[in-house]
Amino acid sequence: MKRSKKRRNHQKIANNYLGMAAIAIVVLILLVGLTMQSNNLKTRIAVYDAKAAALKQSIEDEQDRTKEIDEQKEYMQTDEYIAEVARDKLGLVKGNEIVFEEEK
């Protein structure tokens, strides 16, 4: 009788150790999985941050370009621009100017 009680107690203790070892293995597997997911998320965050920075730069570039276009649009509506185009493209001159032509 004493032996069977000792054997049962010993078997219970062995089963408890096996159960704890199984739980520890499961916990380790979960921790490894969580660590891998965490690293994956950190990598994705870094990629998204880089994309966001590139998009911000692109927005700034486009805003600068828009500003330049607006300035050019304003300049194109001035008399100075109209006179410049008339001289360069149409060959017009003012009434008080003398025109010299090259001989060909």
pLDDT at 61: 98
Ranges of residues in the chain with a pLDDT under 70 are: 1-3, 5-7
The pair of three-digit structure tokens given for residue 17, joined into one six-digit string: 């150790």
pTM: predicted TM-score of the whole model, two decimal places: 0.55
Pick from 19, 21, 25, 1: nearest CA to 11: 19
